Structure 1
Amino acid sequence: MAVSPRIRLIYYAKLSKPRIIWLLDLAALAGAFLTGKILLINLIAVLIGGTLASGGSMIVNEGVEIDRDKVMKRTSKRPTVMGYVSKKEAIIVGSTLLGIGSLIGLIANPLTALFILLGGLIYIFVYTIWLKPRSPLNIVIGGFAGSAAAWAGYAAMTNNFTLASLLLGLLIFMWTPGHFWSLALKFKEDYSKAGIPMLPVLLPEKSAAKYIAISNILMIPFALILYLYVGMIYLVIASIFSAILLLFSFKLLKNPTGEEAWRSFKISAPYLAILLIALIIIKIV
């Protein structure tokens, strides 16, 4: 049965994972404002290009992962699994969006386009196709896809890659494992059924909680050191919210259950968002 263009657009919007895209766009904005100068046309280009490329990469991901998504309760209602969007269609549409988004990045400069494309390629080929079904390091290495968004935002304003942009990207890279390992611990049975070797699937809950805490602890210095480029107000904000994040990590250590892992997961996304928003507001002011 044929569906209207509006309904099909809704399917693709769901497949694009908008809750992840907005955080990637926030990372791009933080990268742009970290430079201390805003070129409006370039900012629009990196946001539109990055959004299309990120959404396209997510769509390809869900096209590739239909068989795994079928056996996971959390993902069993995705349009690809329900048959509304075929694997071939998802890959073609997603790849097209990735290409268009990367070309739009050229409006800013080639380096911006390169980082937009790099983020998509890492997510699709390194994370989804290569590492996710094979290695517990999947989400660790895959974290560079998020870093690329921050680097694209910085490059859009400067046509450059500096220590400041590197550190912002490394913050996102270091944040990624603890965040997604918490999710994997909550849905450990789902990932196990799908044969995805996320670290919490391979380890007892107590050990998984320990690695989540270690990952978050190792991430904190990258969150704090950005004060060198943002200022003391940022350092105060980052210190307070880092302490809150660590509190939830230690709670998970004491009580390594799916419910506690879910609380850890739910606090880690706002944590990164707050730091990025604080950076942006301070730079604007």
Structure 2
Amino acid sequence: MNTVCVTTERSAVGMAREVLSLFKLRIGFLIMITAVVGYVATPGHASVFQVLVMALATLVASAAAGAFNHYHEYRSDRLMARTRTRPFASGSLPHHPAWLLLFAGMLLAAVAAAWQVVNPQSAIFVFLGAFFYAVIYTVWLKHRSWTNIIIGGLAGSFAVLAGAAAADPQLGPLPWLFALVLFLWTPPHFWSLAIANSEDYAAAGIPMLPVVFGPQRAASIVFASTVALVVASLLPAAFGAGPVYLVGAAAGGAWFILKSWHLKQVQNRKTAIASFLASLVQLNAVLVAACVDAML
């Protein structure tokens, strides 16, 4: 009897982990943080409750879009070593249309909460972030064009705008500049990872940048994109962001440029992953510096 109970408990825990893994919560928390930074960096006011609802709405909407990506891409995921163990791809969770009701319900609840508690502008940006990732990127562009991640990158930009709109629906130049930074960050971040996993994408027939143009040209584009990103990340200093932000953006940007330059010189998994990780350092430097600067 005890053995049966323990086995059942382990199965339930394992199932819960599989379901949670659908929602790409690491990415979701990062997107939520960008929304909070958008709020902190924008002059204005909202109650603590409104900020909390906005942050959770952004997280839930992102989770719904991420889970839909798992659901829609389960066949392609089976063809790639990096993704073949995902729940729908591996069969550990049934690929049933009922999941779509859950994901749609999550998105509807997130948008409705933001609309009622925060304001309509913030709610619209919450919706657009999920829509661009789930529909524009996943359904429309991912298997059609190497530009997929460029346009799909707008998902992160909308999170910044959702946070900024919670503080002030009349958006000034600073939140738009931070949205631009997120938009320019996504391509070199993702393309670095794509170079590291180009064989996977080729096997799945997904036209990511290194598959279409080859790793050498892709690495050159990553480097040029990184330089453009870093230049854009310094622009907020001319529109209200202070010296702490400028130092953080410059330091994080210099590190990303260095690693993307190494990738441009030598294309292998080690340099590609190093560039990918440097993109995370750069983004976190920008986000942390923006928060510290706003609180000083």
TM-score of the aligned structures, taking structure 1 as reference length: 0.95
For the residues of structure 2 that align with 1:260 and 1:280, how far apart are their CA atoms? 30
The 3 A distance-change label for structure 1 pair 65 and 3 is farther
8 Å contact 2:243–2:293 — kept in the other structure?
A: no
Cα-to-partner distance string for 1:166-207 (whole Å, 9 max, x where unaligned): 111110000100000001000000011111100111122211
The 3 A distance-change label for structure 1 pair 190 and 205 is same
Is 1:54 aligned to 2:54, yes or no?
no
8 Å contact 1:36–1:283 — kept in the other structure?
A: no
One-letter amino acid of the counterpart of residue 252, structure 2 = F
Which residue does 1:232 correspond to in 2?
A: 243
Is 1:102 aligned to 2:82, yes or no?
no
The 3 A distance-change label for structure 1 pair 9 and 159 is farther
Structure 2's unaligned 5+ residue stretches are: 1-7
1:83 Cα deviation after fit:
1.7
For the residues of structure 2 that align with 1:144 and 1:113, how far apart are their CA atoms? 16
Which residue does 2:76 correspond to in 1?
A: 68
Larger radius of gyration: 2
For the residues of structure 1 that align with 2:10 and 2:87, how far apart are their CA atoms? 13
Which residue does 2:5 correspond to in 1?
A: none
Aligned residues: 285
Cα-to-partner distance string for 1:82-130 (whole Å, 9 max, x where unaligned): 2233332432222221111111111100111100011111111100000
The 5 Å alignment of 1:83-94 reads 83-87=91-95, 88-94=97-103
Which residue does 1:81 correspond to in 2?
A: 89
For the residues of structure 1 that align with 2:148 and 2:62, how far apart are their CA atoms? 18
User: Which of residues 267, 270, 287 in structure 2 aligns to 1:256?
Assistant: 267
User: Which of residues 37, 43, 66 in structure 2 aligns to 1:30?
Assistant: 37
Which residue does 1:207 correspond to in 2?
A: 217
For the residues of structure 1 that align with 2:85 and 2:45, how far apart are their CA atoms? 41
User: Which of residues 286, 290, 294 in structure 2 aligns to 1:279?
Assistant: 290
Is 1:161 aligned to 2:168, yes or no?
no
For the residues of structure 2 that align with 1:252 and 1:89, how far apart are their CA atoms? 43
The 3 A distance-change label for structure 1 pair 225 and 251 is same
8 Å contact 1:34–1:229 — kept in the other structure?
A: no
Q: Secondary structure at the match of 1:100?
A: helix
One-letter amino acid of the counterpart of residue 230, structure 1 = A
The 3 A distance-change label for structure 1 pair 5 and 163 is farther
Which residue does 1:44 correspond to in 2?
A: 52
8 Å contact 2:244–2:292 — kept in the other structure?
A: no
Cα-to-partner distance string for 1:224-259 (whole Å, 9 max, x where unaligned): 011132212211221122111111011111111122
1:7 Cα deviation after fit:
4.3
One-letter amino acid of the counterpart of residue 92, structure 1 = L
8 Å contact 1:140–1:176 — kept in the other structure?
A: yes
TM-score of the aligned structures, taking structure 2 as reference length: 0.92
1:36 Cα deviation after fit:
3.5
Which residue does 2:4 correspond to in 1?
A: none
8 Å contact 1:177–1:215 — kept in the other structure?
A: yes
For the residues of structure 1 that align with 2:243 and 2:74, how far apart are their CA atoms? 47
1:158 Cα deviation after fit:
1.1
User: Which of residues 137, 141, 146 in structure 2 aligns to 1:136?
Assistant: 146
